Chains A and B, each alone.
Chain A
Amino acid sequence: EPEVTQTPSHQVTQMGQEVILRCVPISNHLYFYWYRQILGQKVEFLVSFYNNEISEKSEIFDDQFSVERPDGSNFTLKIRSTKLEDSAMYFCASSVGLSPGVEGAFFGQGTRLTVV
């Protein structure tokens, strides 16, 4: 069964460092997303990406964040200068999007980011 894969599963970084979280979405999907969950809080939307550009972003997704689809398979989230409050589980998701049915989004296992 096709799945969304994320690497690494855990990342520890020092405050102020740049991190890149990587995702391989399901191959025939057209929409890509990043979500995050800070411990004890709701899963919250960061950004959606379609046709090689951001289609929607939340208030959280400020200038410190960027996304890229550098080739036909990978989808990355970069945090330029990490802060302690960026510590969270980051989820990548993808969806077909244009299907007349409603499939919803498929999620990866997440990357646990710890900023120290």
Chain B
Amino acid sequence: ILNVEQSPQSLHVQEGDSTNFTCSFPSSNFYALHWYRWETAKSPEALFVMTLNGDEKKKGRISATLNTKEGYSYLYIKGSQPEDSATYLCAFSTGTASKLTFGTGTRLQVTL
């Protein structure tokens, strides 16, 4: 059974704070690690898909790193804004078009 864990479950930060979340996943049969941003009443939005050990990806103020040998990924948000408030999901896949196995998500709330 593949188990993907995320921490913390929820996080409340002030505008301008930088923050990071963790996703841990099985290191065997690894193909890709996906990060999604999910706002209430909207579609989960793909942020990053990473496949190689040591991968680092960046999109504006959000970046992610990947360690496939030890089975973890970090998502960083620099200078959090209220519009960053969302649930951040990570998911693990074992093939190009295989199913995604999701973590529980980290719920981020950014206040002024």
Chain A interface residues (CB < 8 Å from chain B): 3-4, 30-31, 33, 35, 41-45, 48, 50, 55-56, 58, 91, 95, 97-99, 102-110
B72 lies within 8 A of chain A by Cβ: no
B41: chain A residues within 8 A (beta carbon): 109
Mark interface residues in B32-49 (1 if CB within 8 Å of A CB, else 0): 101010000111101001
CB-CB nearest in chain A for B99: A45
B51 lies within 8 A of chain A by Cβ: yes
B22 lies within 8 A of chain A by Cβ: no
Count of residues in B whose CB is under 8 Å from the partner chain = 22
Q: Is the CB of B89 within 8 A of A56?
A: no
Chain B interface residues (CB < 8 Å from chain A): 32, 34, 36, 41-44, 46, 49, 51, 89, 91, 96-105
Give Cα A105–Cα B35 distance, bound, in whole angstroms: 11
A109: chain B residues within 8 A (beta carbon): 41-43
Q: Is the CB of A43 within 8 A of B102?
A: yes
Q: Is the CB of B103 within 8 A of A48?
A: no
Give Cα A101–Cα B105 distance, bound, in whole angstroms: 25
Q: Is the CB of A3 within 8 A of B43?
A: yes
Taking a contact as CB atoms closer than 8 A, the residue among B42, B89, B101, B103 that contacts A45 in the complex is B101
Give Cα A42–Cα B44 distance, bound, in whole angstroms: 13
Q: Is the CB of A97 within 8 A of B97?
A: yes
- Distance (Å) between the CB of A32 and the closest chain B CB? 10
Q: Is the CB of B100 within 8 A of A108?
A: no
- Distance (Å) between the CB of A4 and the closest chain B CB? 7
Give Cα A12–Cα B44 distance, bound, in whole angstroms: 23
